[in-house]
Amino acid sequence: MMTMLGGEPFLLVSKQEQQNYPLYIRSVPSDSELKFHYTVHTSLDVVEEKVSAVGKVIVDQRELYLGLLYPTEDYKVYGYVTNSKVKFVIVVDSSNTSLRDNEIRSMFRKLHNSFTDVMCNPFYNPGDPIQSKVFDSMVSSMMVQTC
Amino acid sequence: MADEALFQFLHNELIQYVYKSSEQGEMENARCITKLENMGFRVGQGLIERFTKDTARFKDELDVMKFICKDFWTSVFKKQIDNLRTNHQGIYVLQDNKFRLLSQLSAGKQYLEHAPKYLAFTCGLVRGGLANLGVKSIVTAEVSVMPACKFQVMIQKV
């Protein structure tokens, strides 16, 4: 799972259905990081629910982007699940109105692209925490944009 | 296309390398096969991550298998699987009538005993791809007449 936070993003990636351990977490304001961890882990249930509904409900949601998972008073939580069951979660401040659905979607696309590059790196062991510098800088640039 | 030949050469060298760097003996053969299979596994994981980047979410297991037979196979071997059969209980048989990695070997019985070497990597490729899509499986291959071969995928229920 993967997350982004903050007035801006807290981001985290997680892997595999049963064991949701974080592959990468990054948040902007580090003071309330724990709270964001909590938010992100809670949101995984919603992700699970949405994914398992595929093919059952009339609204066939087969897009990888899951949209707004749920809004809380202060934050909006967005989700994305790749075909390989890696979950991306982005948390943004509710007051941040510059981020619309489309922007979030393209952020997820970027994340996914970078993640694919990480996966295809022969020195990366699937399932390990992501330590790629390229990935880091991509996330940083994305967070700067949104701040 | 040139990349077709490159992959074949690389694959051939891979087998040569693995076999040359091992000792002789019956045990060693199995170990080499496992090694090749594991290499395929990792490659499969990476490939499927890339190939499924822009596809919609899969509905079920069969959907995943169809993807492997069509898109995945076309990308790697430049042709689709010729026949996909299933018993709907977790066993799938993928038949390729002219498997590319075997097509350069004699079609007779001469190299039949060497065929497993040339299939191990692909078995791993399929297993790795499926594993990354959340489908645990065992993949085996069999050849009866030379360029044709069958891959049997047994899905491991959790």
From CA A21, how far away is CA A25, in angstroms rounded?
A: 11
**Per-residue pLDDT at A4 exceeds 50:** no
**pLDDT (0 to 100) of residue A12:** 62
- Residue B158 is predicted with a pLDDT of 67
Helix A133-146 and helix A101-119, axial crossing angle in degrees, nearest 10: 170
Is residue A120 very low, low, confident or very high in pLDDT (cuts 50, 70, 90)? confident
- A33 in a structural domain: yes
Q: Cα–Cα distance between A97 and A107 in angstroms, integer?
A: 15
Q: What is this model's ipTM?
A: 0.79
Segment A48-57 mean pLDDT: 68
> For A68-89, how does the pLDDT look when each residue is reduced to its tens digit (9 = 90+)?
777 777 778 888 888 888 888 8
Chain B CB contacts of A51 below 8 Å: 57
Q: What is the mean pLDDT of chain A?
A: 74
User: Which residues of chain B make contact with A55, given a CB cutoff of 8 A?
Assistant: 59-60
**Contact (CB, 8 A) for B43 and B125:** yes
Structure-model confidence comparison of residues A6 and B28, the more confident one:
B28
Q: pLDDT tens digit string along B42-69?
A: 999 889 988 888 888 887 888 889 888 9
Judging contacts by C-beta atoms under 8 Å, the chain A residues touching residue B62 are none
What are the tens digits of pLDDT across the range B101-158? 888 877 777 788 888 888 899 999 999 999 888 888 899 988 888 888 899 999 887 6
Q: What are phi and psi of A76, to 5 degrees?
A: -115, 135
Cα(A46)–Cα(A106) distance, rounded to whole angstroms? Answer: 21
Q: Which 133-152 residues of chain B touch chain A by CB within 8 A? A: 133-134
The residue among B33, B67, B41 whose CA lies nearest residue B53 is B67
Please say if the pLDDT value at position A60 is more than 70.
no
How far apart (Å, rounded) are the C-alpha atoms in residues B103 and B106? Answer: 8
Which of A16, A64, A126 is closest, CB to CB, to B45? A126
Q: Which residues of B touch A85 (CB under 8 A)?
A: 133-134
A86-94 average pLDDT score: 81
Distance CA A139, CA B102 (A): 44
What would the two tokens of residue B39 be? 């290499």
For B14-46, what is each residue's pLDDT tens digit? 888 888 887 766 678 888 888 889 999 999 988
Three-class secondary structure of residue A21 per DSSP: strand
Write out the two tokens for A16. 């595999």
In sequence order, the β-bridge partners of residue A14 are A87
Residues contacting A51, CB < 8 A, separation 6+: A66, A81, B57
Indicate the pLDDT class of residue A8, thresholds 50, 70 and 90: very low
Token readout for A74 is 């202060």
B50 vs A: CB within 8 A: yes
The DSSP string of B71-125 is: IIHHHHHSS--SEEEE-SSSEEEEEETT-TTTTTS-SSSTTGGGHHHHHHHHHHH
Residues in B 27-46 with any Cβ partner in A closer than 8 A? 42, 45-46
Chain centroid, CA A86 distance in Å:
9
Dist CA B3 CA B141 (whole Å):
25
**Number of separate domains in chain A:** 1
Query: Look-up: residue for tokens 């489309």?
Result: A102
CATH number at B4-155: 3.30.1380.20
| Of residues B127, B134, B129, B128, the one with CA closest to residue B154 | B127
Indicate whether A6 pLDDT > 50.
Answer: no
Q: Which residue of B has its CA nearest to A108?
A: B53
Tokens of B7: 């992959």
CA A51 to chain centre: 15
* Chain A positions in Cβ-Cβ contact with residue B42 (cut-off 8 Å): 122, 126
Q: Quick check: is A110 in a domain? A: yes
- Position B79 scores a pLDDT of 87
Asked if B53 lies within 8 A of A116 by C-beta distance, the reply is yes
Q: How far apart are CA B112 and CA A19, in angstroms?
A: 43
Say whether residue B55 is in contact with chain A using an 8 A CB cutoff.
yes
A114: CATH: 3.30.450.70
Confidence tier at A41 by pLDDT (50, 70, 90): confident
What pLDDT is recorded for position B2? Answer: 61
B42 vs A122: CB contact, 8 Å cut-off?
Answer: yes
What was the pLDDT predicted at B110? Answer: 79
CA distance A116 to A109: 10
Average pLDDT of chain B, as a whole number:
85
Interface touch B46/A62, C-beta < 8 Å: no
Mean pLDDT computed over A92-115: 81
Which of A92-101, B40-49, B73-82, B134-143 is the least confident region?
A: A92-101
Between B15 and A98, residue with greater pLDDT: B15
User: Residue B93's pLDDT is what?
Assistant: 92
Which positions ≥6 away from B117 have C-beta within 8 Å?
Answer: B15, B19, B32, B33, B36
Beta strands A87-93 and A2-4 are parallel
